[in-house]
Amino acid sequence: MHRILAAILIGAAVAVAPAAPALALDDGLALTPPMGFNDWNAFGCDVSEELIEQTADLFVSEGLSDAGYTYVNIDDCWALKDRDPATGRLVPDPAKFPSGIAGTAAYVHGKGLKLGIYGDAGTNTCAGYPGSLGHETLDAQTFADWGVDYLKYDNCYNQSDGTQADYVRRYSAMRDAIAATGRPIVFSICEWGTTQPWTWGADVGHLWRTTGDISDNWPSLRGIIAANAPLYPYAGPGHWNDPDMLEIGNGGLTPAENRTHMSMWAMMAAPLIIGTDLRSASPETLAILTNRSVIEIDQDRLGQAGKVVSDANGLMVLDKPLASGEHAIALYNSTDALATVGTTLGGTHPWRLQDVWTGAVTQARSHVEAAVPAHGTVVYKVRPIRDPGPIAPSVTVGGAIGTVTPAAGIPLTTTVTNRGVGPLGDVSVSVGAPAGWIVTAATSARARSLATDKSLVTTWTVTAPATVTAGSYPLTLSTSYTWSGRRRSSTASTLMASVVTPPPGGTRYLSTVRAADFTNASGPIELDQSNGGAAPGDGNLITIGGHVYTRGLGASAPSSIRYYLGGECSTLTTDVGVDDTSPDGAADFAIYADGVAVATASVTAGAAPQSLTADLTGAAWLLLSTTGTGNADWAAPVLTCGEAGPVQPVERTLFSFEAGTDGFGIANADGGGSVEPTTAFHTDGAAGLLVHTPVNGNWFGRALDAPLDLTGTSGLKFDMRVETAGSVGEIAVQVGDAFTWCQGGQWTWLNPGDSRTISRSFDEISCPSGTTLDKADIRAVWVYLNTGGNVAIDNVRAE
């Protein structure tokens, strides 16, 4: 059976990387991908012995260790900033690890688990703690002495000339130092895929990161899958591609995305390193992380990563051969709509398909297929069978619909396909819609019979009520049919229909109006910032020819953004220009009302912004288009619908720093730091505040002479630019006269030069138990900054 299966998976041609080097460390470690926990994704620098030990406890009590999770790993920030002056050894921070790493390791070992630690192949770790470059022998021995079982070895401050040879040399030095200790230690190479570590990592470490850091959002997950999946030839027992730690449970992914994360990591034979706070993980999170069928695929002893059988139009099929002779087939839909994904399995026998998430078993003649929700993945375990017997046929029902607007007939197409052995009889399809919606079939919704690999395609008209509100609405596509003579079954899928409605009356920034759809050269259209990379929210303050804007849309040309106006709007005024982050850009801007260009401009990089006014009277649709290259900004765009009024949302500036520091200072004087006025960074006005932050952080802000009443506002915002270092921050307000502190809303970014509007809702700020955030009685406003470097702030405001 194994022989047949290996030969018959057929798919579209994909770029296949050259064969992997055969060498491996051959030390018997990591024969299947490592499974464990690492604190970084959920806690950043906030690691401690208590957290590691509680996590070890939960590994046992929550069944994670039974499911295969073994390594409890400490990431950056566990050490003191200085080595022991006498011995030169790394020193665990006694405040975070009162029992040291040795004591923590002993505790973790006592639970039958293993302990991991973090180091760096440079002079410092990424968070500025001592690195191991030039100290490899002593540090490896120190780790071994402490009982460490796993070392993640990072790449910050690497002093490198950037050549692959230098990377191999720095990482091999630590490999050799570990080997010399004689202690089995899994060696995790973390150089972010910079020098194609998959081509050299197998005889240096047990796993190597293939990409930059994962973050807790869909574009990051999608980007990492796209980068890591094609590297399948390089993975094998003892040497694995590492697409980074899991974000499952951290809140930024939908349930379907979390299952895709787990499914695709298993299919790619990736390490399963949990990155969430297990102390507060939900039952849903734990169920995904401990799904035995999916873990079995990841941990299969054959150790082959899934081959990319096809990858087109955002739909990917992976095929992972298993030691049992079966194959795991993943059908992955990275698009934003329901899609039917499949591949042809050849052979003379029919196939048994087992859905590893639902357990459902079906049979297929020769094509494995599923209607997969947006961002979802269906994984089947498949094997050939002689006789399908009483197994139900694989029948899929898919569909597609355009953007829905109130009281307009929108076409929908449904497709029912029989992939099973033998014909289906008496096939019908129906569409379930929310109350008040009208769905009518325009072509036949029935078929007397449907042969193998034949489809019933039906077109429908879907009309949402005139009173529908904007949002995403489920349409249930169902089919029922008889098979094997008399048995009757049904299959259903959910198609999400997106409804857009005209903006409310009044005058408002366009960045607060929901777009119907968009196209963009890179990443999403950013709101109130310029375009960055693939992830949402990774741009900077919109800046055109040195003019900074806190409101607008950050596009990347060529781009288009559509809004439904429903004939209710009159004008759009906006500045346009090439963002200063694109020094070579040149873009043409055009505003279309129902397909007619009503305002245009051509702008090159560095030029001053141009102002456009567009008459939109009576238009159903507004289209903002850019062509050319570079980050193209729609700056301070203001749309008027119905009756004009003050521009919404209204902000109230609390401190503008135009006349100096506005009383801002340091909270804890002995913690260091200072403030001074600056004209080098400002948004509105001509001046801002420059904050010199101490390495260990401090609070900056002021106590107020009289209680400040922020009733009716929902949060605080200010504009910030990181001048010389990365920054982690949070905000705090003091409420009432009893010195009650409410604080939170942590943010982080790492690149010097980044600028952003920090916007934190009061909901993100927590108060001591028993107290509430009384917005009418604010006594002080503080910002916490932890970096060591200069950070500029302007225009602290309430909205």
Interface residues toward ligand GAL, by CB under 6 A: 40, 75-76, 125-127, 154, 156, 190, 192, 213
Q: Are 113 and 55 in contact (CB under 8 A)?
A: no
Q: Are 394 and 438 in contact (CB under 8 A)?
A: no
Q: Are 429 and 399 in contact (CB under 8 A)?
A: no
Of the residues 213, 453, 517, 594, only one is catalytic, namely 213
- Please report, as a single letter, which amino acid is at residue 291: N
The two beta strands, 487-499 and 471-483, are antiparallel
Do you find a cis peptide bond into 411, omega within 30 degrees of 0? Answer: no
β-pair partners for 372:
339
* Minimum distance, C-beta of residue 154 to ligand GAL, in the bound complex (Å): 5
β-pair partners for 786:
728
Which of 702, 729, 718 is closest to 785 using CA atoms?
A: 729
CB atoms within 10 A of CB 761: 13
Buried b (16+ CB within 10 A) or exposed e, 484-493: beeeebebeb
Q: At what angle do helices 164-181 and 136-146 cross, to 10 degrees?
A: 40
Q: Are 738 and 718 in contact (CB under 8 A)?
A: no
Q: Which spans in 120-187 are helix H?
A: 136-146, 164-181
In eight-state DSSP terms, residue 452 is T
Buried b (16+ CB within 10 A) or exposed e, 261-271: bbbbbbbbbbb
- Could you please report the per-residue DSSP string of 316-336? EEEEEE-TTS-EEEEEEE-SS
- Could you please report the per-residue DSSP string of 347-378? SSS-EEEEETTT--EEEESSEEEEEE-TT-EE
Q: Which is nearer to ligand GAL, 96 or 779 (CB)?
A: 96
Q: Are 713 and 735 in contact (CB under 8 A)?
A: no
Q: Are 541 and 683 in contact (CB under 8 A)?
A: yes
CA distances from 431 to 399, 474, 479 (A): 10, 10, 9
Of the residues 120, 139, 149, 154, only one is catalytic, namely 154
The helix or strand, by DSSP H or E, that contains position 517, with its residue range, turns out to be: strand 517-519
162 token code pair = 């950037």
Q: Which is nearer to ligand GAL, 119 or 577 (CB)?
A: 119
Q: Residue 536 in 3-state DSSP? A: coil
Query: Measured between alpha carbons, how far is 207 from 235 in angstroms, rounded to an integer?
Result: 9
Write a three-state SS string for 382-393: EEECCCCCCCCE
* Minimum distance, C-beta of residue 281 to ligand GAL, in the bound complex (Å): 20
Q: Residue of minimal CB distance from ligand GAL?
A: 126
CA distances from 113 to 27, 71, 146, 182 (A): 20, 6, 15, 19
632 token code pair = 């193209």
Q: Residue 594 in 3-state DSSP? A: coil
Say which residues have a Cβ less than 8 Å from residue 112's Cβ, sequence separation at least 6. Answer: 60, 65
266 token code pair = 């298993």
Q: Which is nearer to ligand GAL, 130 or 388 (CB)?
A: 130
Structure-token match 């994962």, residue found: 214
Order of all β-strands in the sheet with 327-333:
307-312, 315-321, 327-333, 377-384, 351-355, 361-364
Q: Is 154 a catalytic residue?
A: yes
Which of 393, 516, 552, 405 is closest to 469 using CA atoms?
A: 405
Max CA pair span of the chain: 87
Q: Are 695 and 787 in contact (CB under 8 A)?
A: yes
Q: Which is nearer to ligand GAL, 138 or 156 (CB)?
A: 156
Say which residues have a Cβ less than 8 Å from residue 2's Cβ, sequence separation at least 6. Answer: 321, 325
Q: Which is nearer to ligand GAL, 275 or 306 (CB)?
A: 275
357 token code pair = 């998430």
351 token code pair = 């196939």
Say which residues have a Cβ less than 8 Å from residue 528's Cβ, sequence separation at least 6. Answer: 511, 542, 550, 551, 552, 757
* Minimum distance, C-beta of residue 192 to ligand GAL, in the bound complex (Å): 6
* Minimum distance, C-beta of residue 153 to ligand GAL, in the bound complex (Å): 10
Q: Residue 462 in 3-state DSSP? A: strand
Catalytic residue numbers? 154, 213
